[in-house]
Amino acid sequence: MKAHLTELLTLAAKSIAPEGSNVGTLDIQLERPKTAQHGDWATNLAMTLAKPLRQNPRAIAEALIKALPASAYLGKVEIAGAGFINFFLNAKAKQAVVGLIFQQTERFGHNDTGHDAAGTPRKVQVEFVSANPTGPLHVGHGRGAAVGDCLARLLQADGWDVTREFYYNDAGVQIDNLTKSVQSRCHGLTPEDAGWPEDGYRGDYIADVAAAYLAKATVVADDVQVTASGDIEDAVAIRHFAVAYLRHEQDLDLRAFGIKFDVFSLESALYTEGKVENTVKSLIASGHTYELDAALWLRTTDFGDDKDRVMRKTDGGYTYFVPDVAYHVDKWQRGFARVINEQGADHHSTITRVRAGLQALDIGIPLGWPDYVLHQMVTVMRGGEEVKLSKRAGSYVTLRDLIEEVGCDATRYFLAARRADSQLVFDIDLARAQTNDNPVYYIQYAHARICSVLNQWGGKVESLQHADLSPLQAVHEAALMQRLSEFPEIVKAAAQELAPHMIANYLKELASDLHSYYNAEQFLVENEALKLARMALISATRQVLKNGLNLLGVRAPEKM
């Protein structure tokens, strides 16, 4: 419809433009007005033409309307405000979306933005969560999980070939701390005791790991299986076991949250496979490094950083960003046209360094690759007070606690329904409420309500595909159909902006339109033609609610 109106306006603009003018090539902006009074579509074309044509915008608008070719979809066209042209579609044009939804079903809202010229989906990787295997996932990881998974779903709908990936930092200082902590617990120490490691992990779960180790338990994580030796003095064995144990714990957290990864990458593998060494060699060869004070530095200031960064410490170890660069070289070599890293905002300083390292290598990686989506902190509230402690983890609220308390659907919704770059307050009381306060239930209720009506009607939903829609003339019906037709644009915009919260907001509005309609009109009426048309409309609405909820990873229940 947008394309149709653009064409009409282009023709009109050309016909009123003076000889030799280039107004016909102007970008035509069409938007959906906020209020129904302003029609179904509006353009500011007359205002943008005012300057080049040196005429009053309203006069131009009048001329444009007069020059508009005939259209089968237009009702009336009006001038409003300073020179807006408002288009009112006729009933038939509005009703068309219902047929389209029946035709496309679960693919309604999808598009092919991610396809290449040959029509093949391009490869995109979404890396998210990527927690250190040193403890259970916390709320912050939960936000990353919810946002990252929704991004993956959105990009899939946008026509991309998506890989979900989790990167484990299973090498480095934090893992040493973990090992020491478990070993101390094996020795019977607690965090309150004198000999407890300085930066040790204090949560109760460390005691669980130690107990399992001493009991010679076997744990499975992704592709590895580790059986504990029970030898308290064997730090290497403890380390392997503890990492595997906590990876398994995190797998359980993710499963409870309904999230599946395609690939798990291990930092340790980058070392054992020589990828870190190779990257360092290449960086040295690139000429962007230097030695100073017995350390090796990368001249990241060549690529926009505010100071150079150490790559190899005086103790011979690499700083964390070096394996990170190696990891991204690996991603590039795996053929991802796009990579999106979803991380907590506290990691934002890595962005410049990783990109600088990739540019220094000069292997054809575009500037600004990879993309980053950073989410801000989450504060959890209960009874008007901030919740800070969890028994299990010691110092933070775990994702599993939240899921157990408020449910998977509400947790996902609340963590994905806000812009990633603003701080989020997670109100447990609100998320738990099974009342109209709670937007998750509000949306799910709309879906269940429709299912209930369709049930009582008792006919076959597929038979509605070719129902005559012309009886749909009520204002709430026009509003609902208008909203349905917006869905594909919202999906496209949300994918482009990497902003899943746009879907959550859209669904609230769609649910609201449905509830208003429900209260204003009786669906199961005597008039058979009207009843069938209404069954078709609410059935289409049900489909879009389901498609939208699916993008968020939230269930669309038939009964509640």
Partner RNA sequence: GCGCCCGUAGCUCAGAUGGAUAGAGUGUUGGUUUCCGAAACCAAAGGUCACUGGUUCGAAUCCAGUCGGGCGCACCA
Query: Which residues, numbered 403-422, are part of the site for RNA (CB under 7 A)?
Result: 418-419, 421-422
Residue in 84, 102, 205, 261 binding RNA, rule: CB under 7 A: 84
Closer by beta carbon to RNA, 212 or else 355: 355
Residue 39 vs 144, nearer CB to RNA:
39
Q: Does 58 bind RNA (CB under 7 A)?
A: no
- For 221, residues 6+ apart whose C-beta sits below 8 A from its C-beta are 244, 245, 247, 248, 251
Q: Which stretch binds RNA (CB under 7 A): 227-235, 347-355, 388-396, 400-408?
A: 347-355
Rounded least distance, CB 348 to RNA, Å:
5
> From the list 26, 65, 80, 474, which residue makes contact with RNA (rule: CB under 7 A)?
80
6 binds RNA (CB under 7 A): no
Q: Provide the minimum distance between the beta carbon of 99 and RNA in the complex, in angstroms, as a whole number.
A: 22
Count of residues interacting with RNA (CB under 7 A): 87
Which of 73, 264, 303, 442 is the binder for RNA (CB under 7 A)?
442
Contact status: 315 vs RNA (CB under 7 A):
yes
Please say which residue, 40 or 253, places its beta carbon nearer to RNA: 40
- Positions 170 through 189 that interact with RNA (CB under 7 A): 172-174
Angle at 254 between CA 252 and CA 255, to 5 degrees: 65
Q: List binders of RNA among 131-160 (CB under 7 A).
A: 132
State the number of CA atoms in the 13 A half-sphere of 206 facing the CB.
27
Among 5, 8, 38, 545, binds RNA (CB under 7 A): 38
Is 279 in contact with 325 (CB distance < 8 Å)?
Answer: yes
CB under 8 A, 24+ apart: contacts of 19-23: 21/52, 21/53, 23/49, 23/52, 23/53
Judging by beta carbons within 10 Å of its beta carbon (0-12, 13-18, 19+), is residue 104 exposed, middle or buried? middle
- Residue 37 belongs to what H/E stretch? none
Q: Which of 189, 310, 337, 474 binds RNA (CB under 7 A)?
A: 310
Using the rule CB under 7 A, is 505 a contact of RNA? yes
Minimum CB distance to RNA smaller for 22 or for 118: 22
447 to 154, 259, 485, 555: CA distances (angstroms): 21, 23, 18, 10
- Residue closer to RNA by CB (options 104, 505) is 505
Q: Which residues from 208-247 bind RNA, rule CB under 7 A?
A: none
Dist CA 430 CA 436 (whole Å): 10
The answer to the question of residue 289 lying near RNA (CB under 7 A) is no
Q: Which residues contact 104 (CB under 8 A, 6 or more apart)?
A: 110
| Min separation Cβ 491 and RNA, Å | 12
Minimal distance, residue 39 CB to RNA, in Å: 7
DSSP 345: G
| 366 Cβ contact partners less than 8 Å away, ≥ 6 residues apart | none
Residues between 196 and 215 with contacts to RNA, criterion CB under 7 A: none
Secondary structure of residue 143 in the 3-state scheme: helix
By CB under 7 A, residue 350 contacts RNA: yes
Distance in Å, CB of 296 to RNA, minimum: 9
The verdict on 33 binding RNA (CB under 7 A) reads yes
Query: Rounded CA gap, 415 and 380, in Å?
Result: 11
Q: Could you say which of 26, 489, 546, 555 contacts RNA (CB under 7 A)? A: 489
- Taking the complex as a whole, how short is the minimal distance between the CB of residue 553 and RNA, in angstroms? 18
The residue range among 5-13, 112-120, 179-187, 305-313 that interacts with RNA, by the rule CB under 7 A, is: 305-313
Measured CA to CA, the distance from residue 5 to residue 38 in angstroms comes to 16
**In this structure, which amino acid lies at residue 301?**
T
Rg (CA), the chain: 29
The contact pattern for RNA, residues 245-284, with x = CB under 7 A and - = no contact, is ----------------------x-----------------
The answer to whether the beta carbons of residues 144 and 244 sit under 8 Å apart is no
CA-nearest of 92, 94, 82 to 41 is: 94
Query: Is 424 one of the binding residues for RNA (CB under 7 A)?
Result: yes
What is the chain's percent helix, strand, coil content, to nearest 5? 50, 15, 35
Q: Residue 357: which H helix or E strand, with range?
A: helix 349-361
Does 482 contact RNA by CB under 7 A? no
Site string for RNA, 354-383 (x = CB under 7 A): --------------------x-xx------
Binding residue (CB under 7 A) for RNA from 345, 387, 408, 474: 345
Distance between CA atoms of residues 438 and 533, nearest Å: 31
| CA–CA gap between residue 310 and residue 321 (Å, rounded) | 9
For residues 538 and 476, the answer to whether their CB atoms sit within 8 Å is no
Specify the amino acid at residue 490. I
Query: Of 115, 123, 338, 449, which lies in the binding site for RNA, with binding defined by CB under 7 A?
Result: 449
SS3 of 410-429: the string is HHHHHHHCCCCCCCEEEEHH
51 near RNA (CB under 7 A): yes
Query: What track of x and - describes contact with RNA for positions 515 through 554 (by CB under 7 A)?
Result: xx-xxxxxxx------------------------------
